Amino acid sequence: LARLPISMVPLCMVLLIQQVRGTYTSAGLVTAAYALGSASGAPLLGRAMDAFGQPQVLLPAATVSAGMLTALAIASVHGVGDGPLIVLAAVCGLTFPVITPAMRGAWRVLLSGTEDLDAAYALDATAVETIFVGGPLLLSALLLAVPPVMPLLVTAGLLFTGTVGYVLSAPARTWVPAPPPDGPGTRAVSPLRARGMPAVLAVSAAMAVGFGHLDVAIAATAREVLNAPTAVGLLFAAVSGGSVTGGLWYGARTWRTPEHRRLPVALTGFALGLLVLGGLLFTVLAHLPAKARLGVLLPVLFATGMSVAPSLIVQQSLVDGLAPQHRLGEAQSWLTTGLAGGSAAGTAIGGVLVDLAGPGLSYTGAAAAVAVAVVLALMVRRRWPAPGR
């Protein structure tokens, strides 16, 4: 419940702002402000968790973030201008609770063996992908029954109640960071200065630019190509269902090839799927009736998503191997920052591309961004841990 809003907030913002403003550019700017706020706040919240504990940080953050989300929803339908909406979205993102880095710490409380932790991290990454199935489907169900403002209000409620439930759990309350290597009161260098960390974050950000393009492209596909805004949940569920399948397959295997070789392969699969989607919208789908288009899109979206979770799992594992052990919460939050920052840029650019030439151009832009991630991963992989690190 606490992480379900990760998938719902950007999509709810895009759909609501587009309806009240009539343009994807405004929707992209407001959503990008939220993502940039999240990118800025995540490492600060992660560092605070490493210092003070999880409940002391997550609960106040969730209270403020849910409040700003509620204010944004109400302001949108009362004709408030883009400027105040951008500010509300930015504050919402700045205080958005970093549940995923917190949960990776909770796994270390519950499990001790390296193999158990590796499997748990893969399962956790796959669980995140199920959020990107359930969130859009819940949004689609809400759109059928309630006004467009209600999904954002429901999301705010999920964010607050889910976080309260998490911080009341025993692992969240008992987790403590690893002690500093030089004794209490000392701090290691920033995780950003660890060898190979900037390279992981650069790859993550480039991949996330593709995510941002994809979010806007899928929302526009449902409305402009399928003439069925409520189909947005099915489209997102197809991508995320593919990611869940790929993540479960990846986590169930024992890999002999090192991670720095696996990452470019997974990213290449993602880029090729996005390129195929862009090509379909410019060619085949234009000649098919609206009802037949959905049948073509769903399997391609599913295949495209199969590379997403493996790519994210490898990035998280690389961060765990590179960062100081007593600052892993902050390090994982920097990964969240790379994803959120790249997504913000991709969402803003994707909105412009959709307004210029339709969702096909945004899919193509997403493919180009992920291709950059592939090139970066190939260029910097020698800086990442050797097998067995």
Instruction: Determine the average pLDDT of the residues in 341-363.
Output: 85
Q: Given pLDDT bands bounded at 50, 70 and 90, which one contains residue 93?
A: very high
Residue in the block written with tokens 């001790």: 112
Whole-number pLDDT of residue 208: 92
Q: Pick 326 or 250 by higher pLDDT.
A: 250
Contact 238, 297 (CB under 8 A): yes
Residue in the block written with tokens 């961060």: 319
Whole-number pLDDT of residue 371: 96
The lowest-confidence range among 42-51, 92-101, 340-349 is 340-349
Where helices occur in the chain by DSSP H, the ranges are 4-21, 24-52, 54-77, 82-94, 99-110, 114-145, 150-167, 170-174, 197-220, 232-251, 259-282, 290-305, 308-322, 328-357, 359-380
Whole-number pLDDT of residue 298: 92
Q: For a pLDDT cut of 70, what percent of the chain falls above it?
A: 94
Nearest to 172 by CA among 95, 101, 123: 101
Q: Is the dihedral of CA 109, 115, 118, 122 positive or negative?
A: negative
Residue in the block written with tokens 């199920």: 130
- Reply yes or no on whether the pLDDT at 273 is more than 90: yes
Return d(Cα 11, Cα 331) in angstroms, integer.
27
Residue partners of 237: CB distance under 8 A and separation at least 6: 132, 133, 136, 137
Q: For a pLDDT cut of 90, what percent of the chain falls above it?
A: 29
> What DSSP string runs through 171-210?
HHHH--PPPPTT-TT--PPPGGGSTTHHHHHHHHHHHHHH
Q: Given pLDDT bands bounded at 50, 70 and 90, which one contains residue 65?
A: very high
Residue in the block written with tokens 């408030």: 80
Q: What's the pLDDT tens digit per position in 119-143?
A: 787 788 778 878 877 887 788 788 7
Whole-number pLDDT of residue 184: 56
Q: Given pLDDT bands bounded at 50, 70 and 90, which one contains residue 78?
A: confident
Instruction: Determine the average pLDDT of the residues in 275-283.
Output: 90
Contact 32, 348 (CB under 8 A): yes
CA distance readout (Å), 146 to 19, 139, 153:
14, 10, 11
- How close are the terminal C-alpha atoms of the chain, in Å? 34
Burial letters 109-126, b for 16+ CB under 10 A, else e = eeeeeeeebbebbbbbbb
Residue in the block written with tokens 């895009």: 14
Q: Given pLDDT bands bounded at 50, 70 and 90, which one contains residue 328?
A: confident
Whole-number pLDDT of residue 182: 59
Return d(Cα 172, Cα 363) in angstroms, integer.
39
Q: Pick 349 or 257 by higher pLDDT.
A: 349
Q: What's the pLDDT tens digit per position in 178-223?
A: 666 655 555 566 777 778 888 888 999 999 999 989 988 998 888 8
Q: Given pLDDT bands bounded at 50, 70 and 90, which one contains residue 51?
A: confident
Burial letters 270-280, b for 16+ CB under 10 A, else e = bbbbbbbbbbb
Whole-number pLDDT of residue 366: 93
Whole-number pLDDT of residue 387: 44
The lowest-confidence range among 96-110, 173-187, 260-274 is 173-187
Whole-number pLDDT of residue 148: 79
The pTM of the whole model exceeds 0.85: no
Whole-number pLDDT of residue 383: 67
User: What letter does residue 168 receive in the DSSP assignment?
Assistant: T
